[in-house]
Structure 1
Amino acid sequence: MNETLYDAVVVGGGPAGATAATELALAGHSVLLMERGGRIKPCGGAVPPRMLEDFAIPQSLLVARARSARMIAPSGRAVDMPVGEIGYVGMVDREDFDEWLRVRASECGADRLAATFEKIERDEYAHPLVTFRRERGGPIERVRARVVVGADGARSAVAKQCLPNAERVKCVFAYHEIIASPDSDGEDFDANRCDVFYQGKLSPDFYAWVFPHGKTASIGVGSANKGFSLRGAVTEMRSELDLSHCETIRREGAPIPLKPLKRWDNGADVIVAGDAAGIVAPASGEGIYYAMVGGRFSAEAASDFLKTGEAKALKTARRRFMKEHGRVFWILGMMQYFWYSSDKRRERFVDMCDDKDVQQLTWQAYMNKKLVRKKPMAHVKIFLKDTAHLLGLRPASS
């Protein structure tokens, strides 16, 4: 056995993979972080302040701080949701943010490798071989790992090979264009506001967005409808918002999973994290914070496995994540299933967003990443209002 042996090989260098590599290296393990490079995931880039605190992310990586969100209904009615005094929505550009995370992993002791993962092979020796190519058409190379962490995104090659039914994960396909921000703010664009469009013409089953990134902005849309033109929807949105003249800096598209996999490990020596584990929030599509949490949990589970040799330790990552965030994911999934199904329901959903109780609890849940329990009567009021909307007892835009 003459291949290099690592305690852990992490496949994928996004927020989940880079976080996992950092945590494993800090725990004293030998780590290889494999990232193919040259690709940036389409992402609005929104992060809660809690993420900066939980993962020691410097404020300097924020390219903007949004102080409000605007929800736009099919009728064009706009509802502003100011964050208020409880915080802000941080905005990052994934090109710089992801690279900073990879550099930190390297500084913590992980080896970096620019390569494309091929597959996991097994032979007569105990530990699997991770095969890769440094360049397209180049020779196959191999390293051996005691544990493999698959953080290679939605429709993960690691997950497809090692986990049952991973290829069946349902995804929304996201597309966005990074443009130069307008020279000045106006009614249709505000550098301190995130705009979310709940309009069937822009997305039949998800939403479209305009997110400020300081000198740039992300204009994007998501949909699981394969026949729907995402690029056409972005073109239409830019035209309607008078953003067509803004320079287009780059275009990106990728699938985004909206349901956690039922298993994150193979019961032996492979575990997944981030999009590869399906942990992107339904309804909102928020993934950066959850990817980093999942990366940390998977790394801690992998570290326990490396220290004890007990493969059952790998199961703790999913168990911990679902205990902490599973209920929120379930609620968001139900919300997406119901409210995004027609323009009539989208109109009522935006109408609900005009309620101050809804706004307050929404922002508190976003900032804290958990359901708010401190104001039970507010929840009762929202439940009654939601029921009225569901039954059609309360007219939209009232």
Structure 2
Amino acid sequence: MFDVVVVGGGPCGATAAQDLARSGHKVAMLDRDGRIKPCGGAIPPRLIRDFDIPDSQIVARVGTARMISPSGRAVDIAIENGFVGMVDREHFDEFLRRRATEAGATRLTGTYVGVNRDGVRPKVVYRDKASGETVEIETRLIIGADGARSNVARTEVPGGSTIPYVIAYHEIIKAPPATEIYDPARCDVVYDGRISPDFYGWVFPHGETASVGMGTGIDGVDLKRATAALRAASGLAECETIRREGAPIPLKPLDRWDNGRDVVLAGDAAGVVAPSSGEGIYYAMVGGQVAASACSAMLSTGRASDLKLARRLFMRDHKTVFRVLASMQNAYYRSDDRRERFVSLCHDLDVQRLTFEAYMNKALVRARPMAHLRIGLKNLAHLTGLVHAEYT
């Protein structure tokens, strides 16, 4: 019998399993293996620092972010006093799983089927990948870290299947040498309704490869055609395609993360991907941490109410950032005119500094009240149409 079974071995599940194993708990990590999530792969310095990520996992260091508007206007934002690290999820996720195993977690490879509650304690049921047989493992607690459209959330937590999401699609390509259009030390973010009518497209360097993709929550959008158009516009149409991946990305945290008894959700399964940016790796790993803390608390006290700590701890630190980003997405992703104004606003040095300070450190910057005031006034001017898009 295990203390905790973690369903899912991505950054969230692997982090939760590692933390629990280090705390002395008997933990199993169940992962399907072979699945690579579509992801730009950007990780901020705080993640590298907080989760002790070695240089060997950083495939590129980005020093500039380029915002591109529907009209083709480009605003380059230099990342001052640091860099954004890029990882390839194919290797990064496996690194985290190995680290969890080295900490003492038992790694299981198979597909989650459900929870058998016929006995005193729940049993996680899964189909073993190697044998094809159905296996049951008894546990005291379960962490659902099995991504958006989580089967654990859908079957075990009330409201667990109601997360709004966008579908993300990307193609990993063999990166060309630096050109006038492609820079291996720059992330390009494309706000253009022809690429995505409600989200954005991206070109993110990964060293010898690059991730080119887009996301949308609107049915009927041809993701492959949109990505082909993005590749053509970025001078990458002729590059070799290594792999193609697609998956849903949630955009709003669930109101409830536990079932009040023995299951708690984490990461994408709980909806903790940042609105506007779609950033998920950092928040997934933090979600794994707080889920592990909640389980440890319940294993110690026996109180099922301690599972609520996961959501409470996460929202205490990140609720305001999520609200601000959701407001920004709702305000500026609605039309190409609004996207044009958003990129225009990115010319502003106050916006650039505060945005990247918040991104790098994962907290809103409160030390510059006048800068916040100026940004608020400029934001209002753009949203009400008092200024033209070319003005900042």
TM-score, L = length of structure 2: 0.98
1:203 counterpart = 2:199: no
Question: 236-245 or 103-112: which moved more?
Answer: 236-245
1:35 counterpart = 2:28: no
Partner of 2:52: 56
Q: Deviations over 1:231-251 (max 9, x none)?
A: 110111112222121111110
Q: Deviations over 1:282-310 (max 9, x none)?
A: 00000000000010000011011111111
Matches within 5 A, 1:62-141: 62-85=58-81, 87-125=82-120, 127-135=121-129, 138-141=132-135
- Aligned with 2:170: secondary structure? strand
1:341 counterpart = 2:334: yes
- Aligned with 2:112: secondary structure? strand
Q: Deviations over 1:114-140 (max 9, x none)?
A: 110000110131x10100001399332
Task: Give every structure 1 segment of 4 or more consecutive aligned residues whose post-TM-superposition deviation is greater than 3 Å.
Answer: none
Q: Percent identity?
A: 58
Distance 2:21 2:61 in 1: 31
Distance 1:355 1:232 in 2: 33
Residue 163 of structure 1, CA deviation: 1.0
Residue 392 of structure 1, CA deviation: 0.9
Residue number among 372, 375, 388 corresponding to 2:365 in the alignment: 372
Unaligned residue ranges in structure 2 (runs of 5+): none
1:393 counterpart = 2:380: no
Partner of 1:144: 138
- Aligned with 1:195: secondary structure? strand
Q: Deviations over 1:202-239 (max 9, x none)?
A: 00000000000000000000000110011110111112
Matches within 5 A, 1:1-398: 5-85=1-81, 87-125=82-120, 127-135=121-129, 138-182=132-176, 184-398=177-391
Q: Do the aligned residues in 1 keep the contact of 2:331 with 2:383 (CA within 8 Å)?
A: no
Distance 1:171 1:384 in 2: 31
Which residue identity lines up with residue 168 of structure 2 in the other structure? A
Which residue identity lines up with residue 162 of structure 1 in the other structure? E
Which residue identity lines up with residue 4 of structure 2 in the other structure? A
Q: Do the aligned residues in 1 keep the contact of 2:111 with 2:126 (CA within 8 Å)?
A: yes
Distance 2:75 2:133 in 1: 55
Which residue identity lines up with residue 379 of structure 2 in the other structure? D
Q: Do the aligned residues in 1 keep the contact of 2:156 with 2:263 (CA within 8 Å)?
A: yes
Distance 1:241 1:147 in 2: 48
TM-score, L = length of structure 1: 0.97
Unaligned residue ranges in structure 1 (runs of 5+): none
- Aligned with 2:161: secondary structure? helix
Distance 2:229 2:336 in 1: 18
Distance 1:187 1:150 in 2: 45
Residue 59 of structure 1, CA deviation: 1.8
Which residue identity lines up with residue 11 of structure 2 in the other structure? P
Residue 272 of structure 1, CA deviation: 0.9
Q: Deviations over 1:350-396 (max 9, x none)?
A: 00001001000001000110100011111011111111111111111
Distance 1:139 1:212 in 2: 41
**Aligned alpha-carbon RMSD (Å):** 1.0
Q: Do the aligned residues in 1 keep the contact of 2:182 with 2:235 (CA within 8 Å)?
A: no
Distance 2:129 2:89 in 1: 23
Which residue identity lines up with residue 38 of structure 1 in the other structure? G
